[in-house]
Chain A
Amino acid sequence: MSGNWAVEFVKKALLEVQEYVRLCFAAGRAAVSRPFYFRDVMEQIDIIGLGSLTVVLLTGFFTGAVLALQSGMTLDQFGARPFVGRLISASMIKELGPVLTALMLSGRVGSGIAAELGSMVVTEQISALRALGTDPVRKLVVPRVLAGFIMCPILTVVANAVGLLGGWIIALTQLRVASGVYWSSVVEGLYIQDVWMGIIKPFFLGFVIVTIGCHVGLRTSGGTQGVGRATTNAVVASSVVVLIVDFFLTRFLISILF
């Protein structure tokens, strides 16, 4: 009995992976062939990019600030308070900036995409699109994937910048570290490889978040209840996958950059 359940579970999981990979390939093919939907891409850049700016700004700022507070206390034990900038820049740019931005986008963008496409599936709008001769992958998936791919790195850079700013405010007001000391420490703590790592990772994370949202949304079934389920699944799946991809990507980038 439990054996059957396990087999069914594995079969279902493999089917999901297979369908996800097929969607990624279909989106890749559609992205390099006509017709292109430039207007839809711009619209999605606005929704995914500008729409997520507030949450990313707040996340980045307070992460940088709290990092300064916490690390200030620890560094004090070694008399190393002036090095707080180095710690914040290394943590934010290499790891926290990309991952936290990606997790915020999973919650905001991944869920939104799954809910929107899921509603379109259950109200037969996707079938109507196909009946009208429009490929839903070209029209709906590709613009979202491109927007996620482009905007996730940009938002990460923004999160990193405001994170450093948040750290600077705390360093200046709470830790009494001079501005010049803080910013020179920030620069000293960074290697060009760190910057590359912080820039490369968000491309992959953005792609993963949006493709998972699209995949889960397009496979929605079961009416409005199904849309709710799809939304939750998209957030859970993309958040977990973001952390897994981040780990393997970091290992890979360390092996080739350092």
Chain B
Amino acid sequence: MATRDVTAGPPAELVEAHAPVALFDRVTLAFDEKVILRDVTFDVRFGHTKIFLGASGAGKSTILKLMLGLLKPDSGTIWVLGQRVDTMTEAQLMRVREHMGMVFQEGALFDSLTVGENVGFKLYEDSDLSLSEVRERVEEVLGFVSLAEHIDKLPSALSGGQRRRVAIARAMITRPKVLLYDEPTTGLDPMTCLSVDTEIVKLRDLQQVTSVLVTHQLRDAFYIASHEARRNGREVELVEASEQKVEEADFVMIREGRVAFEGSAWELRHSKDAYLQTFLS
């Protein structure tokens, strides 16, 4: 069992210039008798994309909730943006969460608020900006996900894909350093999946947001890993990613709460492991 020393500083690798944005060290979590995660260790580098794959119930979404401090591990340590989040109180966690955003599985939009109020929620609640400045910023981020004309609609009036894009807009409004995506394309048609994937790539490459993605949609995972967004004048285009960009996407396979594989897209595709081959087939 790891000790919980709140006063201990971050480990040396987290205070370096190119420190990992997040670090899990032998994290274990169980609900009653059921072990969800067992000795999970990995790190997430700045500007990189970490993609967690695995079957439903493997514990992928739990990793994101632990990273955000929504859950606490039974043992092990979790560092995010240089702070040890597994020992923090809810009030302390609020300060870390200011630099993070999360897109939940079904969007988790507040159904009594309009799209604009959902997206600008954080700014309306907790910023010095005037109402008109918040509205301007909301229009800007909704424009980024091509939904500016839906600003006054209620979430129930939007399609599934539009709701996910609004959730992305809500998560990015405070310009976070890290964005966590919990199955952002599950249950969507292929064309809508592509538009959500495009937003993830655009955010990562144009706004330098470190992305942590949980999915079991292989096509989306490989698309995000193999494409990059570039500005061409006022237009943004998605092109085949450079070799370096491809290497910046790390895949992690979670199987029954353990890390079964960690490596690049190429290594994943060429793995001889029978389980991985079955998963990829």
Contact = CB atoms under 8 A, between A and B. Distances in A.
Interface of A: 35, 123-125, 127-128, 130-135
A124 B164 CA distance: 14
Interface string B64-81: 010010100000000000
A124 B122 contact: no
A128 to B, nearest CB: 4
B104 A124 contact: yes
Contact of B110 (A35, A125, A135): A125
Interface string B25-65: 00000000000000000000000000000000000000001
A257 B30 CA distance: 53
Contacts of A127: 65, 70, 104, 108
A124 B97 contact: no
Interface in B84-118: 90, 94, 97-98, 100-102, 104-106, 108-111
A135 B94 contact: yes
Given A125-B110, A127-B65, A128-B110, A133 B104 contact: no
A113 to B, nearest CB: 14
Interface of B is mostly: mixed
B223 interface: no
B121 interface: yes
B174 to A, nearest CB: 9
A133 B101 CA distance: 10
27 contacts: A35-B125, A35-B126, A123-B106, A123-B108, A124-B104, A124-B105, A124-B106, A127-B108, A128-B102, A128-B104, A128-B109, A130-B68, A130-B97, A131-B97, A131-B100, A131-B101, A131-B102, A131-B104, A132-B97, A132-B122, A132-B170, A133-B94, A133-B98, A133-B126, A134-B121, A135-B90, A135-B94
A135 B104 CA distance: 18
Given A131-B97, A131-B102, 19 more contacts: A35-B126, A123-B111, A125-B110, A125-B111, A128-B109, A128-B110, A130-B90, A130-B97, A131-B68, A131-B70, A131-B100, A131-B101, A131-B104, A132-B121, A132-B125, A133-B98, A133-B122, A133-B125, A135-B94
Contacts of A123: 106, 108, 111
A130 B70 CA distance: 8
Q: Which interface residue of A124, A127, A131 has the most chain B CB atoms within 10 A?
A: A131
Nearest to A125: B108
A89 to B, nearest CB: 42
A128 B122 CA distance: 11
Nearest to B94: A133
A132 B111 CA distance: 16
Contacts of B90: 130, 135
Contact of B108 (A35, A128, A133, A135): A128
Top 10 nearest A-B pairs (CB, nearest first) are A128-B108, A124-B108, A131-B102, A124-B104, A133-B94, A133-B97, A132-B122, A125-B108, A127-B70, A131-B68
A130 B125 CA distance: 13
A240 B103 CA distance: 40
B193 to A, nearest CB: 20
Contacts of A135: 90, 94
Nearest to A132: B122
Contacts of B97: 130-133
A132 B174 CA distance: 10
Contacts of A132: 97, 121-122, 125, 170
A128 B102 CA distance: 8
A230 to B, nearest CB: 17
Contacts of B94: 133, 135
Contacts of A133: 94, 97-98, 122, 125-126
B108 to A, nearest CB: 4
B100 A134 contact: no
B69 to A, nearest CB: 8
